[in-house]
Amino acid sequence: MVRELKLRQVGGSVGTTLPKDMAERLHLEPGDRVLAVETEQGILLSPYDPTVEKALALASKTARKYRSALRELAR
């Protein structure tokens, strides 16, 4: 489902709210955490999962360590 959300100033940050029906379908409640992942298509929000966060951190560390090799493989 695609929904247009309006961004608002929240202190020194920018935030938005999710429509109630969307939050209910995704089982999200006030205070829940989500991960924001930048992709080529935009921003992907997904429910927070400590396992996923650890995997993303490990992937990022590995990509930095093997940057040169990955560049060669991408050719």
pTM, 2 dp: 0.56
- Give CA–CA dist 5/17, Å, rounded: 7
Residues of the chain above pLDDT 90, percent: 64
Residues near 6 by beta carbon (within 8 Å), at least 6 away in sequence: 16
pLDDT digits (tens, 9 = 90+) for 33-56: 998 989 999 999 888 888 888 888
Residue type, 75: R
Q: Are strands 13-15 and 42-47 parallel, antiparallel or unpaired?
A: unpaired
- Give CA–CA dist 50/53, Å, rounded: 5
